[in-house]
Chain A
């Protein structure tokens, strides 16, 4: 029998310190392996989360189908009795059908995945928008922009879902490439000359900055670099980015380089960067600052 010298409680066999006051036990009872009884298992609990289910039960799908059927029939009958053909009711009817597909799709198939449902939903919305555009007159008026944007969203999410456990840089690269492709197609649609001279360089610059930033955060999390250093480097990257953006925009707009606003930003940021990097190297200065400005 061991007792805690501070609290006076008797301690369970095998305890090396008092659980109440953390005082070390002087002559702890040793456990003999044969009769080791512990109150709880040492097994770590498995955290079980529910699968994200979008599957409505069959009776619910049945219910919702009928609820949607009523407005569908009413609009159809009203439209038909007034115009003898389908005119404006096309819009509410396609909308209702879209809602129905979004709600019921997961219930049709067994073993669906979140990704499948997402794909079908994006596809349904894209088709819906295209059909609206088609019905309202000259065909590709606006819906092709929306459809392509939806596809871009799909690629973003798909890349994340498929590669989330792999390298995050790889996911970001896919995002950048798809973004570039998206901008290129957009420039073709709008017949603009902005893709090569403006959009692509800006995108590449921002992507490079993002990738560098991710690398810095990774290093910081692994505690390979210090916080001040990473802050300084981030500010430096930001400064370079600002100046380059200024250069690219100037080249596109004025066809020549006129440093204007970026220099002001750089004038603020560069001394800060310098200061941070110096403080990072000088522990005495760091200690002084911590003392003077502690909160």
Chain B
């Protein structure tokens, strides 16, 4: 990338008429997404902030035009090269759009001129929906914070110091592919997983998504978690596994026919490696139980999850799968295969090395911290993951102020896992407030 940059400068001297547009290679995690993307595997995620006042779309559009300049590596469109996809400068300006009933719809890469994210507004809410090709949760949240900060500033609110929110154009270091920087070539391969249990239910029509939101008072759940002596992520993952265990027990009666239950928990690698990138930089840890060995009690699950999240989310363990992924990308044989053939291979990788090995995803963004002035204006923060036809349900968690918001998104009519998950919390004395985007429950 650096060479490319220097070359650009030289060329500008020689020929000023040629407008050089920056381009980026996809980062290691993003490589797979354009090839597997479909109406059902949308590879999207969404973050939103609910404000105290209704959103003014005109001001929001101004803010977006201002903020996108600061994130040059998001101001891109996806293009096809001969060997790989790449991201190219997008001369158009992004537009804000009104929210829809089914968020997280696919952004078709065939639209050469389209952005890989959307900004949507609805009543009091500003939402960004990112395609995973561009970035992960950290990058998305940074962008949303910068957008809402600029928006509130434009409205003349007294929001004070931006804190860690970027207000200047971001440097090249924010656009780096950090996976490649921390790659070590000689590490052993990570263990192969086994095909996990998946919810079986009929899929809704492509594009439809059912979102069930549970809002939990933070202090109640923190009290419970502290009493158990674990972290919040550990607790939620354990509840999730326990819920899926009960679901599998109700479907499959014989133990030897049961499949492992594994939950994919994304780990933010910026806390392990020193990188400031705002593109993808996360990998997964997979706490797993094997129900063939019998029914696990909640305490046993809790122990397994705690153990896994502590021991597997370390630099040493993560570097194994990081090096496997980057090694594949650097392999000469793979590199010189034309993209059209690579595209055929990718869905297989996705199924056999990715989603097929897990029963669900639980992504915890953690406690969202906003600068003091800004947090007065923001009521609530939501985080929603897109769905895929293998796992069918996924769970996204984020905390803000005194509320913990858990969003389950699914592409089936089955809410079995959600029900088992939330009723478990109720039984532990943690109150949950439920809402949904399925309109029929409001109109009955």
Residues in chain A within 8 A of chain B (CB atoms): 4, 7-12, 14-21, 24, 37-50, 53
Stretch at the interface among B18-26, B230-238, B360-368, B417-425: B417-425
Show 13 residue pairs from A and B whose CB-CB distance is below 8 angstroms, ordered by the A residue.
A8-B426, A9-B422, A10-B433, A15-B434, A15-B435, A15-B442, A17-B441, A19-B436, A20-B418, A41-B99, A43-B98, A44-B100, A47-B105
Q: Say what secondary structure dominates the interface of chain A.
A: loop
In the bound complex, do residue B437 and residue A39 qualify as a contact, i.e. CB atoms below 8 Å apart? yes
Are the C-beta atoms of B434 and A11 separated by less than 8 Å? Answer: yes
B214 within 8 A of A: yes
Our pick among B112, B122, B432 for the contact of A9 (Cβ within 8 Å) is: B432
Picked from A8, A20, A37, the residue with its CB within 8 Å of the CB of B124 is A37
A20, B415: Cβ atoms closer than 8 Å? yes
Alpha-carbon gap, A40 to B108, bound state (A): 22
Which among A7, A8, A45, A49 is the interface contact of B100 at CB below 8 angstroms?
Answer: A45
- A47: which B residues are within 8 A, CB to CB? 105, 207
Q: Which of A11, A18, A19, A21: most chain B Cβ within 10 A?
A: A19
How far is it, in angstroms, between the C-alpha of A30 and the C-alpha of B382 when the chains are bound? Answer: 25
Contact B438 A19 (CB under 8 A): yes
B434 engages A24 (CB within 8 Å): no
**CB within 8 Å for A9 and B438 given contacts A40-B103, A44-B100:** no
Look across to chain A and name the residue whose beta carbon is closest to the beta carbon of B407.
A39
Are A40 and B419 closer than 8 Å at their CB atoms?
Answer: no
Instruction: List, in ascending order, chain B residues with CB within 8 A of A4's CB.
Output: 434
Q: Across the interface, which residues of A come within 8 angstroms of B444, CB to CB?
A: 16-17, 24
Q: Which residues of A contact B102 (CB under 8 A)?
A: 44-45
In the assembled complex, which residues on chain A have CB atoms less than 8 Å from the CB atom of B438? 19
List the B residue with the shortest CB-CB distance to A6.
Answer: B423
Q: Answer yes or no: B110 CB below 8 A from chain A CBs.
A: yes
Nearest first, the 8 closest Cβ-Cβ pairs linking A and B are A50-B110, A12-B435, A16-B444, A19-B436, A45-B100, A41-B99, A20-B419, A10-B433
Question: Whole-angstrom distance between the alpha carbons of A282 and B344 in the complex?
Answer: 52
Given A20-B212, A44-B100, A50 contacting B419 (CB threshold 8 A): no
Q: What is the CA–CA distance of A141 and B246 in the complex, to the nearest angstrom?
A: 75
Give residues of chain B (194-230) contacting chain A, Cβ–Cβ below 8 Å. Answer: 207, 211-214
Check B182 for interface membership: any CB of A closer than 8 A: no
Given the contacts A19-B441, A48-B111, A37 and B433 also touching, CB distance less than 8 Å: no
Q: Check if A7 sits within 8 Å of B426, measured CB to CB.
A: yes
Residue of B nearest to A25 (CB): B444
Chain B residue with minimal CB distance to A14? B442
Question: Can you name the residue of chain B whose Cβ is closest to the Cβ of A46?
Answer: B100
Residues from chain A with a CB closer than 8 A to the CB of B427 are: 8
Q: List, in ascending order, chain B residues with CB within 8 A of A45's CB.
A: 100-103, 105, 207
Interface size on B, residues (CB 8 A): 41
Proximity string of chain B (94-126) to chain A, C-beta cutoff 8 Å, 1 when within and 0 when not:
000011111101001011100000000011110
A41 lies within 8 A of B122 (CB): yes
Other-chain residue from B125, B419, B432, B443 in contact with A10 (beta carbon distance below 8 A): B432
Distance A12 CA – B112 CA, assembled complex (angstroms): 41
Q: How far is the CB of A63 from chain B (nearest CB, A)?
A: 10
Any A CB within 8 A of the CB of B333? no
- Please determine whether B100 and A9 come into contact, CB atoms closer than 8 angstroms: no
A105 to B443, CA, bound (A): 54
A107: shortest Cβ distance to chain B, in Å?
Answer: 14
Q: How far is the CA of A49 from the CA of B206 in the complex (A)?
A: 13
**Contacts beyond the supplied A19-B435, A40-B437: 12 A-B pairs with Cβ under 8 Å:** A9-B426, A15-B442, A18-B441, A19-B415, A39-B125, A39-B213, A39-B437, A45-B100, A45-B103, A47-B105, A49-B110, A50-B112
Is there contact, CB below 8 Å, between B441 and A40? no
Residues of A within 8 A of B436 (CB): 12, 15, 19
CB distance from A254 to the nearest CB of B (A): 54
A15's nearest neighbour on chain B, judged by CB, is B441
Q: How far is the CB of A111 from chain B (nearest CB, A)?
A: 16
State whether B100 touches A41 (Cβ < 8 A). Answer: yes
Chain B residue numbers with a CB within 8 Å of A20 are 212, 415, 418-419, 422-423, 434
CB atoms of A8 and B98 under 8 A apart = no
Residue of B nearest to A45 (CB): B100
Is there contact, CB below 8 Å, between A41 and B441?
Answer: no
In the assembled complex, the Cα of A54 lies from the Cα of B382 at a distance in Å of 40
Residues of the B chain whose Cβ atoms lie less than 8 Å from the Cβ of A21: 419
- Output the nearest chain A residue to B423 by Cβ-Cβ distance: A7
Question: Is the Cβ of B122 less than 8 Å from the Cβ of A40?
Answer: yes
A10 to B433, CA, bound (A): 4
B327 to chain A: which residues have CB within 8 Å? none
Contact A10 B431 (CB under 8 A): yes
Q: How far is the CB of B309 from chain A (nearest CB, A)?
A: 27
**B1 to chain A: closest CB distance in Å?**
22
Question: A40–B207 contact, CB under 8 A?
Answer: no
Is the beta-carbon distance between A18 and B434 smaller than 8 angstroms? Answer: yes
CA distance A263 to B247 in the complex (A): 58
Contacts of A48 in B (CB 8 A): 108, 111
User: Which of A4, A12, A45 counts the most chain B CB atoms within 10 A?
Assistant: A45
Please give, as numbers and ranges, the residues of chain A lying within 8 Å of B108 by CB-CB distance: 48-50
Given the known inter-chain contacts A7-B423, A12-B434, A41-B122, please indicate yes or no for A19 contacting B212, CB distance below 8 A.
Answer: yes
